[in-house]
Amino acid sequence: MKTEGCEYEARVMRGERDKALEAHISGCEHCREAGRVSAWMRGLAEQTSPGNLPAPGFLLFKARLSKKYSDTARALLPVAAMQVAAVLLFIAAGAWLAAKSGLSVGPAVVGTLRSLSASAPLLFLGVTGGLLICAAAAYFLREPKK
């Protein structure tokens, strides 16, 4: 397939016409097609116009709103991840205590709760986790510097 352009193609596409160019177009299939298509495309473009476009101020406002929303969503991601981690840690600790004390599931829950309330290291872990979550939330949700 011959896909190379003709040297006159750019002029034909711009809609330029003079005697020499007309003579060339009549003998060059490539330029004839380019001329026909470009005239048709220009006609199509003229027929394509929007009704009412939004005001630029409205788009600026929407863009700021969307940025704020995505920044908040991004900032909340680590907080959510830490919450999930805290819950998983809680479950894992409960399961570990239940397994350690050799209890079945029902009493194990009661036992776990008892152990948790009595267990100083786990309490420390919980408080530390909570503090970390608060610190992360405060860091990521702070107002950006202007």
Partner 1 sequence: MEERIFEEIYEQTARPLWAYAARISGSATAADDILQETYIRFLNSPPRVLDLAGAKPYLYKIATNLVRDRFRRLKREVGAEEIQDETAASEGFGQALEMTEVFAGLKDQERALLWLAYVEGYDHREIAGILKLNRVSVRVLLFRARRRLAEALENKK
Binding site for partner 1 (CB under 8 A): 1, 3, 5, 13-14, 33-34, 36-38, 40-45, 47-51, 53-54, 56-57, 59-60, 62-63, 66-67, 70
Give whichever of 27 and 50 is closer to partner 1, judged by the CB atom. Answer: 50
Contact at 8 Å (CB) between 125 and 94?
no
Nearer to partner 1, 13 or 21 (CB): 13
Instruction: Please identify, using beta-carbon distances, which residue of 2 and 142 lies nearer to partner 1.
Output: 2
The least CB distance from residue 19 to partner 1, in Å, is 24
Instruction: Give the CA count within 13 Å in the CB-facing half-sphere of 53.
Output: 6
Cα 82 to Cα 137: distance, rounded to the nearest angstrom = 10
Question: Is residue 31 within 8 Å of 37, Cβ to Cβ?
Answer: no
